[in-house]
Amino acid sequence: MNAQQKSIRVLLADRNAVLLAHYYVRPEIQDIADVLGDSLALAQAAARSEARVIVFAGVHFMAQSAAILCPDKTILLPRPDAGCPLADRADAASILAMRKKEPDAVFVTYINSTAEVKALSDICCTSSNAAKVLASLPDGKKVVMLPDGNLARHMESVTGRTVLPWKGCCPIHDALTPQQVRRLKARHPNAPFAAHPECRPDVLALADFVGSTSAIIGFAGKSDATTILIGTEVGVLTELQKRHPEKTFIPASPDLFCADMKKITLGDIEKSLTTLEPTVTVPDDVSRAARAALDRMLAIS
């Protein structure tokens, strides 16, 4: 642990704070996080935290979710410009228009969304629990799933339900092509390919395993393979290599890199803990409605 990491750990203790970090953030931040996880694990950790301050090393929608679940706590996002292009693909006006078009549908919203969009939704999901969320809904009920169309299409294929996909995607995962995967598999014919459900259907069709970030980590641990091809953001390789130093993990593309997830630095966290800024808050009316959708998700997760 370097001097700056030690300083942050001291500040966390002094401020009665916890550091929640996503698998995609910088390795040096992952190393000192109180909780390292995917979106579901971090939402759960925020909901049960007894700390007075929650520092989020991730992107804006994650800090918003923490603010919704913990209205009595101070939520810090060291870089408020760390956004999510996927979350930006749905807005409140578009959801209201779709609700008028599909008044009887259940609106299932990926946690990668703004608080305003969550507030207009019936239930939230993550890539870890999306199938369980869909299974909890009444049979025969039409489902609108947003904002990630790739995740929606994958859930339709997995569950057999009719799912209306939103016209949105994660540009990082969606950019991975089947041609890239085939070339990589040709070079490593014995290596299984594990892909995130935010990838395109034609990429998922080539996968030996499809799952959330945490599920991919679990798959890597159970697999007998010594080399595994990874179809999600490269930040997860830090945890994979830490847990399984005897294995080789190869990103399916060097472009599986989220610049927003990498924006937060140790310096940003240290400054944020020193000043207790910038904070993330959500208006009460939006927060109450969004919390209902998040709570429904957490209750079955």
Report domain extents, the chain: 3-83+261-282, 87-170, 176-251
Burial of 159 (C-beta count, 10 Å sphere; 0-12/13-18/19+): middle
How high is the pLDDT of residue 301? Answer: 74
Q: How far apart are CA 236 and CA 220, in angstroms?
A: 11
Per CATH, the number for 87-170 is 3.40.50.10800
The answer on pLDDT for 47 being more than 90 is: no
Which residue type occupies 86?
A: L
Structure confidence at residue 300 (pLDDT): 87
Contact 119, 290 (CB under 8 A): yes
pLDDT at res. 181: 98
pLDDT digits (tens, 9 = 90+) for 152-211: 999 999 999 999 999 999 999 999 999 999 999 999 999 999 999 999 999 999 999 999
What is the distance between the terminal CA atoms of the chain, rounded to a whole angstrom? Answer: 34
Query: Do 3-83+261-282 and 176-251 have matching folds?
Result: yes
Tell me if 146 sits within 8 A of 168, measured CB to CB: yes
Phi-psi region for residue 268, left (φ > 0), alpha (ψ -120 to 50) or beta? alpha
Is residue 60 scored above 80 in pLDDT?
yes
Per residue in 91-125, pLDDT (tens digit) is: 999 999 999 999 999 999 999 999 999 999 999 99
176-251 — its CATH code?
Answer: 3.40.50.10800
Q: How confident is the model at residue 1 (pLDDT cuts 50, 70, 90)?
A: confident
CATH, domain 3-83+261-282, list 3.40.50.1820, 3.30.70.120, 3.40.50.10800, 3.40.30.10:
3.40.50.10800
Please compute, for residue 154, the number of CA atoms within 13 A of its CA located in the half-sphere on the CB side. Answer: 28
Query: How does pLDDT run across 255-291, given as a tens digit for each residue?
Result: 999 999 999 999 999 999 999 999 999 999 999 999 9
**E strands along the chain, which residues?**
17-22, 35-37, 53-57, 74-76, 106-110, 123-125, 143-146, 163-165, 193-195, 209-210, 227-231, 248-251
Q: Which residues pair with 254 in a beta bridge?
A: none
pLDDT in tens, 127-157: 999 999 999 999 888 999 999 999 999 999 9
Closest CA to 198 of 206, 210, 208: 210
| pLDDT (0 to 100) of residue 285 | 94
The mean pLDDT value for 221-237 works out to 97
